Structure 1
Amino acid sequence: MLVEDIMNTDVKTLSPTDSIAAALKMFREHKIRHIPIVNAENEVIGIVSDRDVRDASASIFDNGSKSDLLLQNELQTIMSSPVVTVHPLDFAEEIASIFYEKEFACVPVVQNGKLVGTVTEKDMLYTLIQLTGTNEQGSHIEVKVPDRPGILPEVTAIFGKRKTNIVSVLVYPCNDDPAYKILVFRIQTMNPIPVITDLRNAGYTMVWPQDDKEPKL
């Protein structure tokens, strides 16, 4: 899945010389948490979060005049810069590492040097839901298999014999044995027992469901 498939293109922006008060108003009116700061050419030069604005605002114990004065400061005094950006043709799965490693909550999307959208941590979470198929009704199966070429089509052939539709497939390492992988299937059936039985008869180890946690019908 590409960034352009998940990004928000209706982006609210401000200039570096706009006031903190303008950002505060935009946050409240549009119920957003991040505002890209752009120049006259729509190039991203900074980003401001609602937390930045809160931190820059006066304490509730300060008098009104001081609060008003602080809110008139320009956004360039509090914005984060330089800004990490992504491209519309980047893979959404790959940019997830940016959110994790940098602890970002929003990343601007830039094409030909111009701002074209944003991706938020909420967008990434929804993408994960789509990729794993957990938003669709079905059953969850995890199978321990040898880590060798050709193993995936061998296992999926078992599902094919049952004419079971596979919604999604994930692969992750087996921590207990590096010679094995765990295949995670989301299948479009509420009765996975026949497929589970076939997998066990083929010699594969079921990680989920376990023998003592077999689905009850």
Structure 2
Amino acid sequence: MLVEEVMKTEVITLPPTATISEALRLLQKHHLHHIPIVDNEMQIIGIVSDGDVRDASPSVFDDHTEHQALNNEIRSIMSHPVRTVHPLDFIEEIAQVFYDEEFACLPVERDNQLIGIITEKDMLYTLIQLTGTNVQSSQIEVKVPHKPGILPEVASVFGRRRTNITSVLMYPYNDDPNYKILVFRIQTMNPLPVIQDLRNAGYELMWPNNIAEPKV
């Protein structure tokens, strides 16, 4: 999945000469957490967060505080340079950037122009879509040898039952490089026949692992 499939294209921005007061009004009106700061050619030159604006605003508990600080230009508190991503970047790679750098959002640029923004919330929703948890389904986890061809081999068990697979994930099995866990989400509310087929084929199920095999 690409960034352009997930990003928001309607981005509220401000010029660097806008005041902190203007930024505060936009953040509150549109329930934003970040505002990109751009020049006349939509080139991103900075970014401000609701935390930046809050820290620069006078305390609401001090009646004697001059509110002149709100008239300062937003460039005085913006963060720069700004880490950006390209619309053709892969979401899986961008997730690593969010994790490593602890970003809450990333502006999207093409040809040095701001064209969108992607947030932590967008990333979380994308993860939900990729895992298939947004549709009614059953989950089955299978421990398999880490070898070529194992995925189609296991998937063929589902195919024989004409079971629709909505998503497939793979993750390591503990610290053992010889095994992987395949996670299937399938569109059936009765996974018992497929579960039994997998067991009959010799596969070890990690989930569900509490369903007893039928007595012969």
TM-score bucket of the superposed structures, by smaller chain: over 0.9
Cα shift readout 1:118-145 (whole Å, capped 9, x = no counterpart): 0000100110011011010010110000
Question: Contact conserved, 2:132 with 2:167, CA < 8 A, in 1?
Answer: yes
Q: Is 1:184–2:183 an aligned residue pair?
A: yes
Q: Which runs of 5+ in 1 are unaligned?
A: none
What SS is found at the alignment partner of 1:179? strand
Q: Is 1:155–2:154 an aligned residue pair?
A: yes
Cα shift readout 1:156-190 (whole Å, capped 9, x = no counterpart): 00000000000000001111422100000110000
**Which residue type is aligned with residue 160 of structure 1?**
G
The answer for the alignment partner of 2:4 in structure 1 is 4
The answer for the alignment partner of 2:98 in structure 1 is 99
Deviation at 1:99, TM superposition (A): 1.1
Cα shift readout 1:66-123 (whole Å, capped 9, x = no counterpart): 2x21111111111111111000111112101111111111100000000000000010
Cα shift readout 1:47-70 (whole Å, capped 9, x = no counterpart): 11111111111122333552x211
Q: Is 1:111–2:100 an aligned residue pair?
A: no
The answer for the alignment partner of 1:143 in structure 2 is 142
Task: Map residues 51-62 of structure 1 onto 2, 5 A cutoff.
Answer: 51-62=51-62
The answer for the alignment partner of 2:204 in structure 1 is 205
The answer for the alignment partner of 1:35 in structure 2 is 35
**Which residue type is aligned with residue 163 of structure 1?**
R
Deviation at 1:211, TM superposition (A): 3.0
Task: Map residues 169-180 of structure 1 onto 2, 5 A cutoff.
Answer: 169-180=168-179
Cα shift readout 1:13-65 (whole Å, capped 9, x = no counterpart): 00111111000010111111110001111101111111111111112233355
Could you tell me how far apart the structure 2 residues matched to 1:213 and 1:58 are? 64
Could you tell me how far apart the structure 2 residues matched to 1:206 and 1:34 are? 44
- Report how many aligned residue pairs link the two structures: 213
**Which residue type is aligned with residue 181 of structure 1?**
K
Could you tell me how far apart the structure 1 residues matched to 2:154 and 2:105 are? 38
Q: Which runs of 5+ in 2 are unaligned?
A: none
What SS is found at the alignment partner of 1:211? coil
Are the structure 2 counterparts of residues 32 and 213 from structure 1 closer, same or farther at C-alpha, using a change threshold of 3 Å?
Answer: farther
Could you tell me how far apart the structure 1 residues matched to 2:89 and 2:175 are? 33
Deviation at 1:213, TM superposition (A): 7.8
Are the structure 2 counterparts of residues 213 and 127 from structure 1 closer, same or farther at C-alpha, using a change threshold of 3 Å?
Answer: farther
Structure 1 stretches of 4+ with a deviation exceeding 4 A read none
Q: Normalising to structure 1: TM-score of the pair?
A: 0.95
Could you tell me how far apart the structure 2 residues matched to 1:50 and 1:185 are? 40
Q: Percent identity?
A: 64
Could you tell me how far apart the structure 2 residues matched to 1:111 and 1:64 are? 47
**More off after superposition, 97-106 vs 114-123:** 97-106
**Which residue type is aligned with residue 94 of structure 1?**
E
Could you tell me how far apart the structure 1 residues matched to 2:210 and 2:25 are? 57
Could you tell me how far apart the structure 2 residues matched to 1:74 and 1:55 are? 14
**More off after superposition, 166-175 vs 72-81:** 72-81
